[in-house]
Amino acid sequence: MLGPVLLAASRSAAIRRIVSAAPVTRPMVDRFVAGERLDESLVAVRSLASRGLEVTLDHLGEDVTDRSEALRSRDAYLALAEALATEELGTRAEMSVKLSAFGQALPGGHDVALANVTPVVEAAAEAGTTVTLDMEDHTTVDSTLAILGELRSRFPQTGAVVQSYLFRTEDDCRALAGEGSRVRLVKGAYKEPASVAYQDKREVDRAYVRCLKILMAGDGYPMIGSHDPRMVAIAQELARRVGRKLDEYEFQMLYGIREGEQERLVAEGHRMRVYVPYGTDWYGYFMRRLAERPANVAFFLRSLVSR
């Protein structure tokens, strides 16, 4: 019950002010966010890399409301690409972007986002790395997949994300399972209506497995974005059945979540990529993480009232 309330709160300016100002929020945020500055995120990247983990970096930000903010997102990612090139981290670290941070929701937003994200994808290629387009709420999926198509015509390594809770996603997986594609499969983190998405967790899990089967049997590179031990085990079994080698797919988990499991998969020889968010605009990301796990919310609320 709490999950949908938190997801609604993740888009409320009033609740954002209260949560952001509460002193107990900061330590909770630090668990999920690698720092506010680029140099702090690079410290986290080096630490993860030293333990054999790969990384995808997310400069936090979403739902920008004007063009200058969208340009600031672009510039933050250009600085990130430059840092990855300078530090020679391009083989370990890629970048994840949210197109709503690049202006996708502005008037003419599709073209604005494409124009702003293109130099980032170019800079990533120069740094020896690539970009994955995060997937946001269902109203953005067509635009995001169309932008992916444009980018892939010049940069075939550009990655996509698909969300198993959406009814459409099995078809999207079939369309994206071709040679050279990189597809991160997740369950989905937004509050979606029953007209477009499964509401029952078991249905979402079943759809996740169906999508996984399509991606594993296809010719692309599946990226399994889940902390769910069942999904991890099923992915391993499917990979074995279709004869995929360990470097023909990868697991992905979020920074600060199930770190023991991340290291266990590396020790087993798997490629494991950690999604590392950094920046000051952590509110929406943080609230989605709380919404995913009642234990996190209970801990957070207890800290609020015990002060």
| Residues carrying an active site annotation | 134, 184
3-class DSSP state of 93: strand
Whole-number Å distance between alpha carbons of 211 and 235:
11
Pick from 254, 276, 287, 297 the residue near ligand FAD by CB under 6 A.
Answer: 254
Residues whose CB falls within 8 Å of the CB of residue 131, separated by 6 or more in sequence, listed in order: 94, 95, 96, 97, 117, 120, 121, 124, 151, 155, 158, 159
Whole-number Å distance between alpha carbons of 235 and 223:
10
∠ CA 206-290-297, rounded to 5°: 115
Q: Return the number of the residue (3 or 35) whose C-beta is nearest ligand FAD.
A: 3
Which residues in the 171-210 window bind ligand FAD by CB under 6 A? 184, 186-190
Nearest approach in angstroms of CB 98 to ligand FAD is: 8
**252 binds ligand FAD per the rule CB under 6 A:** yes
**163 binds ligand FAD per the rule CB under 6 A:** yes
Query: Half-sphere exposure of 134 toward its Cβ, with a 13 Å CA cutoff?
Result: 29
Q: Return the number of the residue (213 or 227) whose C-beta is nearest ligand FAD.
A: 227
Looking at residue 197, what DSSP letter applies?
Answer: B
Nearest approach in angstroms of CB 133 to ligand FAD is: 8
**169 binds ligand FAD per the rule CB under 6 A:** no
Nearest approach in angstroms of CB 10 to ligand FAD is: 12
Q: Return the number of the residue (102 or 275) whose C-beta is nearest ligand FAD.
A: 275
Nearest to 232 by CA among 175, 187, 199, 169: 187
- Residues binding ligand FAD (CB under 6 A): 134-135, 161, 163, 184, 186-190, 225-228, 231, 252-254, 257-258, 275, 289, 292-293, 296
